[in-house]
């Protein structure tokens, strides 16, 4: 059987009949198959007498080999996303925000807000991940990613397993393909912090469990979820705000560029010449900005980038693996330090974010330790957002608290 062809036929069948299926009370259709089993449809109907016309209809195609996965999903009518996003996200990989819609990212932030409220504020015990295990592969050292993931997964009743390069070295002692299949048989999810994003892509292709990007040279989506949660908590919304990025055109910036416009946020970027974001990322961000009606500015003038900004963001100038370029980078980034003088060009209510670790040349103490700095709230929110990702990918949990304004 040609699974790609068969799944495409079934997908087209569902798409052409979506309105009629909605009217008939069908809430969703799950099509599942493997190399040994024919594709089958599982039709989920709404309980009578619930009205159907405005319900979201989803179809998810899972074409599975014995140990690998290839998932594609589509949806029609986004009138009521909140009741179905939890089911849509279960089993997904989390590699880049580029592959997540605005509503899906909002759902993750809602779950993070909900968990933070129920566990931290109300003191509830929520063993949502009891009986589940997580493999944590770290090719790069980390404080926040490791602590947030280990403590968060354990707080929800799960068992995180931390693996360094002394325990596992992707593609060295064992092929990535074999590693993905072994981990799939022993754990419920894998979080990997790697040098090459292509390693994450291969893990995701071969694994039958969700793969989560803990950081790669291309993207850092977990960090951006924490940033957005922090901004939402401070301002009460995201739409219409302006983010100013002043620094390196790196993985954190790439993730912002792939998502800010989805919330209706404007983006002003200043990078030194020669340190601009990747051209393909810029092109995709320009398209997102055009579709959403937001503004995107790229310049090499930090003060111009800061003009009118609500949030000023920077990051390390010398990332892991770039140590040999340190002197070259320090010279190139002269004039890019965030100071109170930078803030004079920004909006009167401007705040500051940095994903840490921070060096004084990137932002001075007057800003970093001021009331405008949200960096430690941002760091804590790494925990609640990674918990939200794990809960959403591994369960069908629905938030119990009111949905925040985005």
Are 112 and 381 in contact by the 8 Å Cβ rule? The answer is: yes
Question: Residue 58: which of 35, 36, 83 has the closest Cα?
Answer: 83
Give the span between the Cα atoms of 27 and 17, in whole angstroms.
13
Tokens representing residue 228 in the block: 């957005």
Instruction: Please list the rounded mean pLDDT of every run of 10 residues in the chain (406 residues).
Output: 52 57 53 45 43 36 40 37 68 98 98 99 98 95 94 98 78 80 97 96 97 98 99 99 98 98 99 96 98 98 99 90 82 97 98 97 98 98 99 97 97
3-state SS assignment for residue 318: coil
Tokens representing residue 301 in the block: 């003038």
Cis-peptide into 49, omega within 30 deg: yes
* pLDDT tens per residue across span 336-395: 999 999 999 999 999 999 999 999 999 999 999 999 999 999 999 999 999 999 999 999
Give the span between the Cα atoms of 328 and 330, in whole angstroms.
6
pLDDT of 48 reads: 40
Give the span between the Cα atoms of 246 and 306, in whole angstroms.
8
Q: Is the pTM of this model over 0.75?
A: yes
Handedness of CA 257, 245, 294, 101 (dihedral sign): positive
* pLDDT tens per residue across span 22-64: 555 554 555 544 444 444 554 544 444 333 333 333 333 333 3
pLDDT of 23 reads: 54
CB under 8 Å to 91, separation ≥6 — which residues? Answer: 62, 71, 210, 393
Tell me the catalytic residues.
355
In sequence order, what are the beta bridge partners of 63? 33
CA distances from 266 to 44, 109, 269 (A): 40, 19, 10
Cα Rg, the chain, nearest whole Å: 22
pLDDT of 62 reads: 38
CA distances from 108 to 76, 137, 226, 405 (A): 20, 23, 10, 13
DSSP string spanning 195-225?
Answer: S-HHHHHHHHHH-SS-EEEEE-SS--HHHHH
Handedness of CA 290, 291, 295, 299 (dihedral sign): negative
The H-assigned helical ranges of 217-339 are 221-235, 251-257, 279-292, 302-306, 326-332
């Amino acid at each position: 059987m040609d699974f790609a062809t068969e799944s495409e036929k079934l997908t087209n069948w569902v798409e052409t009949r979506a309105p009629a299926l909605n009217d008939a009370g069908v809430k969703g259709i799950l099509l599942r198959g493997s190399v040994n089993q024919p594709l089958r449809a599982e039709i989920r109907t709404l309980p009578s007498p619930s009205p159907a016309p405005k319900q979201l209809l989803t179809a998810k195609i899972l074409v599975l080999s014995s140990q690998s996965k290839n998932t594609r999903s589509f949806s029609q009518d986004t009138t009521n996303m909140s009741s179905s996003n939890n089911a849509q996200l279960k089993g997904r990989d989390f590699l880049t925000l580029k592959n997540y819609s605005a509503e899906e990212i909002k759902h993750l932030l809602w779950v993070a807000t909900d968990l933070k409220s129920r566990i931290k504020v109300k003191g509830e015990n929520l063993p949502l991940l009891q009986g589940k295990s997580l493999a944590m592969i770290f090719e790069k050292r980390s404080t926040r990613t490791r602590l947030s993931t280990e403590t968060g997964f354990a707080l929800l009743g799960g068992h995180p397993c931390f693996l360094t390069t002394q325990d596992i070295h992707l593609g060295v002692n064992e092929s990535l393909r074999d590693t993905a299949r072994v981990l799939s048989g022993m754990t419920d999810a894998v979080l990997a912090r790697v040098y090459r994003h292509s390693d994450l892509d291969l893990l995701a292709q071969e694994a039958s469990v969700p793969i989560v990007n803990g950081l790669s040279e291309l993207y850092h989506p977990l960090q951006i979820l924490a940033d957005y949660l922090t901004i939402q908590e401070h301002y009460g919304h995201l739409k219409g705000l302006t983010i100013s990025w002043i620094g390196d055109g790196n993985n954190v910036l790439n993730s912002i560029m792939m998502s800010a416009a989805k919330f209706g946020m404007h983006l002003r970027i200043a990078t030194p010449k020669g340190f601009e974001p990747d051209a393909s990322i810029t092109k995709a961000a320009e398209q997102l900005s055009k579709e959403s009606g937001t503004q995107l500015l790229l310049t090499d003038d930090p003060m111009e980038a800061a003009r009118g900004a609500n949030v000023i963001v920077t990051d390390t100038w010398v990332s892991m693996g770039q140590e040999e370029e340190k002197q070259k980078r320090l010279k190139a980034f002269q004039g890019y330090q965030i100071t109170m003088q930078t803030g004079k060009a920004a909006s009167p209510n401007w705040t500051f974010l940095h994903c840490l670790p921070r060096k004084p040349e990137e932002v001075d103490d007057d800003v970093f330790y001021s009331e405008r700095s949200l960096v430690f709230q941002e760091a804590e929110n790494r925990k609640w957002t990674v918990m939200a990702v794990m809960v959403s990918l591994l369960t069908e949990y629905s938030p119990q608290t009111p949905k925040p304004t985005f």
